Amino acid sequence: MNHARIVGTGSYLPEKVLTNVDLEQMVETTADWIVERTGVEERHVAAPGETTCDLSEQASRHALEAAGVEARDIDLIIIGTTTPDHVFPSVATQLQHRLGCRGGAAFDVQAVCSGFVYALDIAYRFIRTDGAQRALVVGADTFTRIINWQDRGTCILFGDGAGAVVLEKADQPGIIDSQLHADGRYKELLWVPAGVSSGYEQTRENAAFVEMRGSEVFKVAVHTLKEMAEQILAANGLTVADVDWFIPHQANRRILSATAKRLGLPEERMVDCVRIHGNTSAASIPLALDVAVRDGRIQRGDTLLLEGFGGGFTWGAVLLKY
């Protein structure tokens, strides 16, 4: 079977920045409370009319450029997103059209904040089995569109953005291992109660937004991220000491710190963009990856552990040599 490796990364953030001081004007909160409980200082918010496909396109163009790959050479596009431009068609098909590459498979994956890890796992399996040669894998969300700006328990956390990687067939790993999981019992801890086949009509008058039981999500997230890291490392004969960079879903600084502590992983080896991005759902991991690649922290040959966790619950890990 083939191997697959990341040959380029890219990301994009909308121009508008929403600070904690701005949020103080919108809900009963303080900038200090937000920083202390979440680590978030600012997040980016898509402009009116700016869509998930717009963000995906910018991130993808940066990733293609970094990889030195022409869009016409991409034969698979997978986007992890919960906030598509349309009910259908998928964002991936629209992105394919904009980039000018035709004919290969293109589809969206809905695993909320684990969306990028799910998409990367699937692309990896396509390449492993000769179903594709070169994939564009994107995590993109305009999550602020499904936020209730009167709910101080959620509106302080989320932001918009997109990250992308080009994954290519290779002789050597690349991706060492990848695992995906889900447990639907936890639906109501983090969800949007209405959907296309349930309550969609009512949403015209009464929009449906994210609802979250934050402290319960918090506990499961820390436990799961820790267990999953230990599992995938042990399965591959590695330990935490072998990981050069840990890139977990950027949910909350306290979740990241607690996970690193339980793993015995020094925080200096964890990529943490929570302060400047907030929680960008499926975009958070590829955004953090791209930041650390471009600022020179992540070098070729480094061992990376990516971990997603999100609504469902869904979770997944990808272990790779960059």
Tell whether residue 156 is a contact of ligand UT7 (CB under 6 A).
yes
Stretch that binds ligand UT7, among 73-81, 132-140, 176-184, 245-253 (CB under 6 A): 245-253
Q: Which is nearer to ligand UT7, 253 or 321 (CB)?
A: 253
Quick check: 273 and 246 in contact, CB under 8 A?
A: no
The HSE-up count of residue 276 (CA atoms within 13 Å, CB side) is: 10
Q: How far is it, in rounded angstroms, from Cα 70 to Cα 246?
A: 30
What letter does residue 150 receive in the DSSP assignment?
T
Tell whether residue 250 is a contact of ligand UT7 (CB under 6 A).
no
Q: How far is it, in rounded angstroms, from Cα 256 to Cα 80?
A: 21
Q: How far is it, in rounded angstroms, from Cα 94 to Cα 30?
A: 40
Tell whether residue 152 is a contact of ligand UT7 (CB under 6 A).
yes
Q: Which is nearer to ligand UT7, 62 or 249 (CB)?
A: 249
Q: Directed axis angle between helix 52-67 and helix 91-99, to 10°?
A: 50
Q: How far is it, in rounded angstroms, from Cα 250 to Cα 227?
A: 17
Q: Which is nearer to ligand UT7, 184 or 237 (CB)?
A: 184
Minimum distance, C-beta of residue 255 to ligand UT7, in the bound complex (Å): 6
Tell whether residue 93 is a contact of ligand UT7 (CB under 6 A).
no
Let me know if 2 is a catalytic residue.
Answer: no
Catalytically annotated residue among 62, 249, 273, 277: 249
Site string for ligand UT7, 265-294 (x = CB under 6 A): --------------x---------------
Interface pick for ligand UT7 out of 53, 79, 106, 113 (rule CB under 6 A): 113
For the record, the structure tokens of 249 come out as: 């879903």
Q: Which is nearer to ligand UT7, 45 or 113 (CB)?
A: 113
Tell whether residue 38 is a contact of ligand UT7 (CB under 6 A).
yes
Quick check: 108 and 81 in contact, CB under 8 A?
A: yes
Let me know if 113 is a catalytic residue.
Answer: yes
Tell whether residue 251 is a contact of ligand UT7 (CB under 6 A).
yes
The type of residue at 191 is: W
Q: Which residue has the tokens 């009464």?
A: 206
Q: Which is nearer to ligand UT7, 29 or 303 (CB)?
A: 29
Site string for ligand UT7, 198-217 (x = CB under 6 A): --------------x-xx-x
Tell whether residue 153 is a contact of ligand UT7 (CB under 6 A).
yes
Q: How far is it, in rounded angstroms, from Cα 204 to Cα 24?
A: 29
Let me know if 236 is a catalytic residue.
Answer: no
Interface pick for ligand UT7 out of 2, 29, 148, 203 (rule CB under 6 A): 29
What letter does residue 114 receive in the DSSP assignment?
G
Q: How far is it, in rounded angstroms, from Cα 191 to Cα 52?
A: 19
Residue number of the CB closest to ligand UT7 reads: 214
Stretch that binds ligand UT7, among 46-54, 76-84, 128-136, 148-156 (CB under 6 A): 148-156
β 190-191/175-182 pair status: unpaired
By C-alpha distance, which of 305, 298, 2 is closest to 173?
2
Give the per-residue SS3 of 33-63: HHHHHHCCCEEEECCCCCCHHHHHHHHHHHH
Point out the residues that are catalytic.
113, 249, 279
Summarize as ranges the residues that interact with ligand UT7 (CB under 6 A).
Answer: 29, 33-34, 37-38, 113, 152-153, 156-157, 190, 212, 214-215, 217-218, 221, 249, 251-252, 255, 279, 310
